[in-house]
Homo-oligomer: A and B are copies of this chain.
Amino acid sequence: MKPSQYQQLYQDELLTSVIPFWLGKSGDETYGGYFTCLDTEGTVFDTDKFVWLQGRQVWCFAMLYNQVEQKQEWLDFAIQGAEFLKKHGRDEDGNWYFSLTQQGDPLIQPYNIFSDCFAAMAFGQLHLATGNAEYATIAQETFANILRRQSDPKGLYNKAFPGTRPLKNFALPMILTNLVLQLEHLIEPSVLEETIDAGIHAVMEEFYRPELGLILENITLEGEFSDSFEGRLINPGHGLESMWFIMDLAERRGDQALIRKATDLTLSLLEYGWDQQYGGIFYFLDVKGQPPLQLEWDQKLWWVHIETLISLLKGYLHTGDERCWEWFEKVHAYTWSHFPDPTHGEWFGYLNRQGDVLLPLKGGKWKGCFHIPRGLYQCWKTLEAIAQKKSATPLLQD
């Protein structure tokens, strides 16, 4: 298939399957916010509200309004979620709870800094859409709080005994490389540049191990390998997702060498993480080939696959490396034959190793309206750029 044909597929899936699913099924008209625990048909099977997913869905509809079309319905849907979060989401110190009841009462304490990250993303994007200064303030205050907490993100809830085996985790620096561009219009240029520098350094110098061609999930404070369950852990999808964040930063800076490096790393992570036997990308692996702690290690997850498609396409767009296109077609074929549900819309999230649906749900505690629509949008736009580049460069035309 040609890039322009793939482009149409991603665009249609976003606009005719995924967005209508969430718009039609997830709104809580009684208390505001969104239901995310939706079964195959989209029926609500649990009413708890997880702040990660509330924030991500606000972000998603605000982004669609800003980037795709200024539909009032999309904006209203984002605003009602943001108002629910604004009213119920934070404790007295401005930390975001992990989860709330349907009514908005706090259920789980603010132990998880990613609740804050996705809230900041949401209010930043919604400020772009509305110009509402209050949303800007919430995004700014939350971002400042994240930076303040970043050296000890778990705080009180950290179960590690101090000093015995302190480790740095990949997730926060990785998310910051994406979040910072989302908030570009709201933060001081010097903070912006410092955060970008620190993020690129962490991802590409500290957690990336050139001798392995892989990204580790946890390293020592000195940046060394830790021969422990945490230190040996590889989450291929995490690394693969981070590569398009890095490519976006590199593109912004015109850093071709960094794009090349992120593209190479995309390919080596994918070769490592691909299941030769059943296809798809493993969820977790142990870098020394030992049994990982995670019992779900061999499962195939929606976000891992869609994020990989984005990185492959961005790598192809920027470098023209044909290996990216070959891998894109292979991962696309696996992904589209396993995850989407053409009957009821949206995508399944969790497959077993063999590729069968493990949980018959479209959303839950961790899967909401985020990776699939964001990924479809990113693939659509990147394929569009690839198609334009090819038509402007006839020798490359397919």
Residues of A within 8 A of B (CB): 37, 39, 45-46, 48, 97-98, 101, 105-109, 111, 156-157, 159-161, 164-165, 228-229, 288, 290-293, 295-299, 350, 352-353, 358-361, 364-365
Chain A contact surface mostly: loop
Q: In the complex, what distance in Å separates the CA atom of A365 from the CA atom of B230? A: 12
Bound Cα distance A358, B293 (Å):
11
Asked if A364 and B165 sit within 8 Å, CB to CB, the answer is: no
| A349 smallest CB distance to B (angstroms) | 9
Further contacts, 10 of them, CB under 8 A, given A39-B290, A297-B359: A39-B291, A45-B288, A46-B229, A105-B161, A106-B161, A109-B160, A157-B159, A291-B364, A295-B358, A352-B353
Cβ-closest 6 pairs across A and B: A295-B296, A291-B359, A106-B161, A45-B290, A291-B361, A105-B164
- Contact at B164–A229, with CB atoms within 8 Å? no
Question: Nearest CB to that of A353 among chain B residues?
Answer: B352
B residues less than 8 Å from A361 (CB atoms): 291
Least CB distance, A169 to chain B, in whole angstroms: 15
Q: Looking across the interface, which residue of chain B has its beta carbon closest to that of A45? A: B290
Quote the shortest CB–CB distance from A352 to chain B (angstroms). 7
Select from chain B the residue with minimum beta-carbon distance to A112.
B159
Q: Are B161 and A291 in contact (CB under 8 A)?
A: no
Whether A161 pairs with B353 at a CB distance below 8 angstroms is no
Q: Point out which of A48, A108, A156, A299 has the most chain B C-beta atoms below 10 A from its C-beta.
A: A108
Q: Which of B160, B229, B297, B365 interacts with A365 by CB under 8 Å?
A: B229
User: Min CB distance, A61 to chain B, in Å?
Assistant: 25
Give every chain B residue within 8 A of A105 (Cβ-Cβ). Answer: 161, 164
A-B contact pairs, 9 of them (CB 8 A): A107-B160, A107-B164, A108-B159, A109-B160, A109-B161, A291-B359, A295-B350, A295-B358, A297-B359
Contact A293 B228 (CB under 8 A): no
Output the least CB separation between A318 and chain B (Å).
Answer: 35
Within the assembled complex, what's the spacing in Å between the Cα atoms of A12 and B84?
Answer: 63
Residue of B nearest to A111 (CB): B159
Option from B48, B288, B350, B352 in Cβ contact (under 8 Å) with A352: B352
With the chains together, A228 CA to B37 CA distance in Å? 11
Contacts of A156 in B (CB 8 A): 156
Please report the C-alpha to C-alpha distance between residue A157 and residue B158 in the assembled complex, in whole angstroms: 8
